[in-house]
Amino acid sequence: MTTTTPAAGSTAASSSAQRDYVAMERMYYQHTFNRGMVLDHGEGVRVWDDAGNVYLDLVAGIATNVLGHAHPAVVKAIVDQAGQLIHTSNLYINKRQVELAEALYNVSGGMRSFFSNSGAEADEGAIKLARKYGRLHRAGAYGIISFDRSFHGRTLATTAATGQKKYQDTWQPLPPGFVQVPFNDLDAVKAATTELTAGILVEAVQGEGGIHPGTQEFMSGLRAWCDEQNLVLICDEVQAGMGRTGKFFSWEHYGIRPDITTMAKGLAGGVPIGAMLAAPRADLFEPGDHGSTFGGNPIACAAGVATVRTILDDHLLDHAAELGDYLGGKIDTLAQKYSALITSTRGVGLMRAFDLAEPRAQDIMDRALERGLLITNAGPSTMRMVPPLILRRADVDEAIEKLDAALASL
Ligand SMILES: Cc1ncc(COP(=O)(O)O)c(C=O)c1O
């Protein structure tokens, strides 16, 4: 651990120019992240660091700033709401919470919402609801089947549901009742189903695992299996939802409807929020079953209403599909040019990835950064791009030019 003493300052805002935030982070923040870059402000698809360098942002707070940075509709909603009512608790009805639930009811075809503060919490709520379903309708079943390479969060239950050993090993023993099977393998799901199984938790397009879309056969098969076995189907839309794939929910691509779906990340354009939506069959919570002090907070919900409205009013679903195809085509061209390094490409809408022959993701991110481009990875050998939905063709061209230069420099 470094012991560099940060430059002293009275208040953060007044003396920020003189303060060494990298040293301060090492001194005051737990070492949970390896990071060395200080971001200062953003606008649209661009962010600036504290040295004044500008970057084209294809990370978007990891699929979160769906409308880019400082979108006027989101800023106005937050400011207006802050002057009216910041927090109420859930002892009272707050108007923005109900309005956001109404908007999600409409886009989901009739699912009712429960709001939390993060994706992990939304998934926790879904797991609890599945357990309640199992208790009431499947003789006390409580088990959840999820998938290899999946990611569902960092709480203990969502870690148990996450199909990546690197997130699980240190925290054993994890809560019981979770099992993972290979993704896109319906026979494995059937073989893992027992009388204790209550539900299946799936990302229709796996995000952290490297942008792997489910096959049509698999997703329809899961729906049919849940109907046949009286299980609840939970679709985790935390990363793939909010229009990222060109549909509001990625499960819409498959013509199926889950019993429960979860959201977070982009739902409020960057303000912390999570949502767990239930179709009538699984809408079983009663007063006392679940709760949250901040969940559905007026500021988060005001930002959420503005974000959902902007996505719909500005036709960003079609735009994400179109720009996604454009970006995907450009990545394919890069893959041809660097065929020794790039082994495969894939994605849906503005959720794109390519695999590397060697574990050089960090190297590529560093070299892209030097050229003014933020991209991220999914493991050491996969690059990932999850840009704001407001991205334009000219931005894609600029990003690909920078990425090309970064790859050429390796
Ligand atoms: C699919 C999916 N589910 C759940 C989560 C957890 O969300 P959060 O980090 O908001 O707890 C993530 C985060 O990356 C995610 O991608």
C-alpha–C-alpha distance, residues 372 and 391, integer Å: 16
19-70+315-408: what CATH class?
alpha beta
Res 2: pLDDT: 37
Q: Ligand 1 atom 16: the closest Cα is on which residue?
A: 239
What is the atom index within ligand 1 of the atom nearest the CA of 208? 16
pLDDT for 256 beyond 70: yes
Q: How far is the CA of 111 from the centre of ligand 1 (A)?
A: 21
How confident is the model over 338-362, as pLDDT tens digits?
A: 999 999 999 999 999 999 999 999 9
pLDDT for 72 beyond 70: yes
Nearest-5° Cα angle at 73, 70 to 75: 45
Give the mean pLDDT of 227-254. Answer: 98
Can you tell me which residue has the tokens 């609840």?
232
Q: How far is the CA of 155 from the centre of ligand 1 (A)?
A: 10
What is the atom index within ligand 1 of the atom nearest the CA of 154? 11
Is the minimum distance from the CB of 384 to ligand 1 under 6 angstroms?
A: no
Determine phi and psi for 5, rounding to 5 degrees.
Answer: -85, 125
pLDDT for 15 beyond 80: no
Q: How confident is the model at residue 66 (pLDDT cuts 50, 70, 90)?
A: very high
Indicate the average pLDDT of the chain: 96
Q: How far is the CA of 10 from the centre of ligand 1 (A)?
A: 36
pLDDT for 303 beyond 50: yes
Burial 64-83, CB ≥16 within 10 A → b, else e? bbbbbbebebbeebbeebee
Q: How far is the CA of 56 from the centre of ligand 1 (A)?
A: 23
**CATH topology agreement for domains 19-70+315-408 and 72-313:** no
Is the minimum distance from the CB of 57 to ligand 1 under 6 angstroms?
A: no
What is the atom index within ligand 1 of the atom nearest the CA of 272? 10
Secondary structure of the chain in HEC code, one letter for each residue: CCCCCCCCCCCCCCCHHHCCHHHHHHHHCCCCCCCCCCEEEEEECEEEECCCCEEEECCHHHHCCCCCECCHHHHHHHHHHHHHCCCCCCCCCCHHHHHHHHHHHHHHCCCEEEEECCHHHHHHHHHHHHHHHHHHHCCCCCEEEEEECCCCCCCHHHHHHCECHHHHHHHCCCCCCEEEECCCCHHHHHHHCCCCEEEEEECCEECCCCCEECCHHHHHHHHHHHHHHCCEEEEECCCCCCCCCCCCCHHHHHCCCCCEEEECHHHHCCCCCEEEEECHHHCCCCCCCCCCCCCCCHHHHHHHHHHHHHHHHCCHHHHHHHHHHHHHHHHHHHHHHCCCCEEEEEEECCEEEEEECCCCHHHHHHHHHHCCEECEECCCCEEEECCCCCCCHHHHHHHHHHHHHHHHCC
Q: How far is the CA of 83 from the centre of ligand 1 (A)?
A: 30
Looking at the domain 72-313, which fold is it?
Aspartate Aminotransferase; domain 2 (3.40.640)
C-alpha–C-alpha distance, residues 230 and 163, integer Å: 24
In sequence order, which residues have a C-beta less than 8 Å from that of residue 322 and are 6 or more positions away? Answer: 246
Q: Ligand 1 atom 13: the closest Cα is on which residue?
A: 153
Determine phi and psi for 227, rounding to 5 degrees.
Answer: -65, -45
Q: How confident is the model at residue 11 (pLDDT cuts 50, 70, 90)?
A: very low
Q: What percent of the chain has pLDDT over 70?
A: 96
CA-based R_g, the chain, Å: 22
Higher pLDDT, 158 or 9: 158
Is the minimum distance from the CB of 208 to ligand 1 under 6 angstroms?
A: yes
Res 1: pLDDT: 34
- The residue type found at 235 is C
Domain locations in the chain as residue ranges: 19-70+315-408, 72-313
Q: How far is the CA of 154 from the centre of ligand 1 (A)?
A: 8
Higher pLDDT, 95 or 3: 95
Is the minimum distance from the CB of 264 to ligand 1 under 6 angstroms?
A: yes
pLDDT for 4 beyond 60: no
Q: Ligand 1 atom 7: the closest Cα is on which residue?
A: 119
In sequence order, which residues have a C-beta less than 8 Å from that of residue 36 and are 6 or more positions away? Answer: 22
Give the mean pLDDT of 212-239. Answer: 98
Q: How far is the CA of 238 from the centre of ligand 1 (A)?
A: 6
Q: How confident is the model at residue 12 (pLDDT cuts 50, 70, 90)?
A: very low
In sequence order, which residues have a C-beta less than 8 Å from that of residue 406 and are 6 or more positions away? Answer: 364, 367, 368, 370, 371, 373
Q: How far is the CA of 122 from the centre of ligand 1 (A)?
A: 9
Res 14: pLDDT: 46
Q: How far is the CA of 62 from the centre of ligand 1 (A)?
A: 10
Q: Among 16-30, 223-237, 278-292, name the one with the lowest average pLDDT.
A: 16-30
Q: What percent of the chain has pLDDT over 90?
A: 96
Is the minimum distance from the CB of 177 to ligand 1 under 6 angstroms?
A: no
Res 382: pLDDT: 98
What is the atom index within ligand 1 of the atom nearest the CA of 236? 1
Res 3: pLDDT: 38
Determine phi and psi for 174, rounding to 5 degrees.
Answer: -90, 160
Q: How confident is the model at residue 116 (pLDDT cuts 50, 70, 90)?
A: very high
Give the mean pLDDT of 74-94. Answer: 97
How confident is the model over 183-196, as pLDDT tens digits?
A: 999 999 999 999 99
What is the atom index within ligand 1 of the atom nearest the CA of 121? 11
Is the minimum distance from the CB of 351 to ligand 1 under 6 angstroms?
A: no
Can you tell me which residue has the tokens 């229009």?
243
Res 17: pLDDT: 57
pLDDT for 9 beyond 60: no
Give the mean pLDDT of 262-284. Answer: 98
In this structure, the number of other CB atoms found within 10 A of the CB of residue 192 comes to 15
Residues in the chain, how many?
410
Q: How far is the CA of 4 from the centre of ligand 1 (A)?
A: 33
How confident is the model over 383-395, as pLDDT tens digits?
A: 999 999 999 999 9
Is the minimum distance from the CB of 305 to ligand 1 under 6 angstroms?
A: no
Q: Which of the listed residues 64, 117, 152 should we mutate to test ligand 1's pocket, taking the one with most ligand atoms within 8 A of CB?
A: 152
